Structure 1
Amino acid sequence: MADQRRNLYFYYPPSEETDEKLKPVKDLANENNFTIVEDDKDANIIISVGGDGTFLQAVRKTGFRQDCLYLGIRQGEEAGLYCDFELDNYEQMVTSMLNDEIEVRRFPLIEATVNDESTFLCLNECSVRSSLIKTIDIDVNIDDLEFERFRGDGLIVSTPTGSTGYSKSTKGAVVDPLLPSMQVSELASLNNNRFRTLGSSFILSGERKLRLGVRQDGNDFPIVGMDNEAYSIRNIKDIEVAISDKVIKTVKLKGNSYWHRVQRTFL
C-alpha cells in the first residue's frame, strides 16, 4: 500500500476485551511500518471494529471524510456487509494491504436538508417517522411533480448499500451500489377510498430530487433517523433528499464483491 496510506485509526466502542484482541493486530501493523494514531484527524485509514452499526458510527463520528479510506473488521457473528475482514483473521488484513490484494470501492451518500437549513449526510438511510401514536402525513414530491400524499407510520429513503437494512425489512429491493440512486419505502401506509399511495417501494435516479413535506397537523416533531442515529428537530416542515456528490471510499478484498457479501448474509 502507498506510503501515504500508513496512518491507522481504530474506532470501536470502549471495551477491554476488544482492546486485548487488538493488541496483536496493532503489533503486526507496527512491525510492517504502519503507524497507529490516537486522533482520527491524523489518520488516512480509519478502521472500525464491530459490525455494520459500528462502521456507520465510525463514518459519521469522523465526519464522512473524503480524504481517507474506511475499513471494516467484524467480530464474531456480527453482520458485516460493510466489513471485509474478521478480527480473528487479522493477519489476512495486514498481508492483503501490504501485497496490494485489496481494492477501493466507492459507496454513494445521500444528503438530507431539513427546512432548507441543516444538511446531513447518510450512508445507509434517512427515515421520517411519527413520534406520536397517530399517522403522519407527508407530501411526496419528485423534482417538480407532486407525486402523492402519504399517510402512515413514515417513510425511508435509502442508499443502495442501505437497501439491505431498514429498507429491506419493509420489502424494499436490494440495489446494486454501482447504481447511484435512492429508494423510497413506506412504513405501514394507509390505502383506502380516502387515502392512496403507490403502495410499494420505488427507486429514483441519482439525478432526481425528492422533497418530503411534513403536514403540520400536530405531528411537526417527527423522529428523523440518519443511519443509526435519531435526531430531535422541532417544527420540521420540509426535508429535501438527493444523492450527494460525496462518496465513502472503503477497502475491500479482491474477488469479494457486494453481491458476494449479500449472498453470505442472506442466502
Structure 2
Amino acid sequence: MKVALVTNHSEKSQKAMAQLEQELAAAGIEQDQAQPDIVISVGGDGTLLSAFHQYIHQLDRVQFVGIHTGHLGFYTDWRDYEVKELVKSLTEDVGHSVTYPLLDVTIEFHSKPDQHFLALNECSVRRINQTMVADVYIKEEKFERFRGDGLTVATPTGSTGYNKSIGGAVIHPRVNALQLTEFASLNNRVYRTLGSPMIIASDEWVRLVLEEADDYFIGIDQLNFQDKDVKQVTLKVAKERIQFASYRHTHFWRRVKDAFIRKCEDDEVES
C-alpha cells in the first residue's frame, strides 16, 4: 500500500499531519504523492475537495480517507485525535470501499474549444450584474425558460452544501442522480418556472442554453471563473465515481444530524 497526504495550513492540521507521518513510518507504510493507493486528506471538506481534484485523473485506482480537524464534515470519517487508530486500520486493509456519484460538466463556448470538468459537489451558473436567462433542457426536450439569479446542479454528496442553502433537498449518496435547483427565480404573470428542485435520473441530463451575455460566473466545486463567451452547459451523472475507503464509514444521516441538528438538541437537553 502507498499513501499520499494532502493537508491545509492550519496549526491543528499541521500537528495531525506530523503525527500521521510518524505513525505511517512506524507501520512501514510507504508515502507516494505521485502514484498512491490511498489519499488521506487532513483538514475539512475543502481539503478533501482539493485532494479529489488533485488526483482526479486517478479515480479508477485511488481511494480517499478524510481526517477532520475542525467542525464536523461530510467527507471525513476520522478526527485528528484518532490518527493512531486510522493507521492501524490501514495495516488491516481488506479493500472495502464505498463509491459516490460525480457530476460531469461540459461547457461549450461560442468561439473556443469546449471544456470538460468533473465535480464532487456541484456546478453553479449565474450572472453577475443582471438577470440570467437560460433555456433549460432535460435530455433533448426544452423544459422551461429560466429567469433569475442562477441555477445549480448538485450531486447527492453536494446536496448538503450550497444546494441546501438555496432550498434544495438533501439526497442520500446511494441515489445515483443529480439535483437541479433554482435560486431567486422570477415567477409572476409574465414569467414562470417550476420553482422547485428537480431530481434528474442517471440516464438523463440537463442542458442550459444561455442568453448571450458578457458576465457569466461559473462555479465548479472550488473552481470559479467568469467568461463572456459561454454558449451552453451540459450536466450529467459522470461515468467515473469517487471511492472512499470504508475502514469506518459514518452513516450518512448521522452526518446530516451532526452537521445541522445535534448541537440544537444538546442545547435543549442542557437547558
Q: Does 1:109 align with 2:106?
A: no
What's the counterpart of residue 18 of structure 1? 13
Of 116, 126, 147 in structure 2, the residue corresponding to residue 119 of structure 1 is: 116
Q: Deviations over 1:12-43 (max 9, x none)?
A: 23456533432222111111121123xx3221
Paired AA for residue 263 in structure 1 = K
Of 163, 170, 175 in structure 1, the residue corresponding to residue 166 of structure 2 is: 170
Deviation of 1:44 after TM superposition, in Å, equals: 1.5
What's the counterpart of residue 179 of structure 2? 183
CA contact (8 A) 2:5 2:42 kept: yes
Rounded to whole Å, the distance in 2 between the matches of 1:17 and 1:241 is 37
Question: Which segments of 5 or more consecutive residues in structure 2 lack a partner in the other structure?
Answer: 262-271
What's the counterpart of residue 232 of structure 1? 226
Distance 1:64 1:56, change over 3 A: farther
Rounded to whole Å, the distance in 1 between the matches of 2:237 and 2:88 is 35
Rounded to whole Å, the distance in 1 between the matches of 2:19 and 2:204 is 47
Deviation of 1:90 after TM superposition, in Å, equals: 0.8
Deviation of 1:223 after TM superposition, in Å, equals: 0.7
What does 1:1-267 align with in structure 2 at a 5 Å threshold?
6-14=1-9, 18-37=13-32, 40-66=33-59, 67-77=61-71, 79-100=72-93, 103-115=96-108, 117-132=114-129, 134-216=130-212, 219-254=213-248, 256-267=250-261
Distance 1:258 1:239, change over 3 A: same
CA contact (8 A) 1:214 1:220 kept: no
TM-score (norm 1): 0.90
Number of aligned positions between the proteins: 256
CA contact (8 A) 2:107 2:233 kept: yes
TM-score (norm 2): 0.89
Paired AA for residue 169 in structure 2 = A
Deviation of 1:110 after TM superposition, in Å, equals: 1.0
Deviation of 1:97 after TM superposition, in Å, equals: 2.4
CA contact (8 A) 2:12 2:69 kept: no
Q: Deviations over 1:65-102 (max 9, x none)?
A: 2211111111032x410000111221121122223488
Rounded to whole Å, the distance in 2 between the matches of 1:238 and 1:262 is 33
CA contact (8 A) 1:10 1:48 kept: yes
What's the counterpart of residue 3 of structure 1? none
Question: Which segments of 5 or more consecutive residues in structure 1 lack a partner in the other structure?
Answer: 1-5
Deviation of 1:163 after TM superposition, in Å, equals: 0.4
CA contact (8 A) 2:7 2:17 kept: no
Rounded to whole Å, the distance in 1 between the matches of 2:241 and 2:36 is 18
Distance 1:184 1:24, change over 3 A: same
Q: Deviations over 1:85-137 (max 9, x none)?
A: 111221121122223488411011111101171111001000001122x2100
Give me the identity figure in percent.
Answer: 34
Cα RMSD after superposing both structures: 1.8
Distance 1:46 1:19, change over 3 A: same
What's the counterpart of residue 264 of structure 2? none
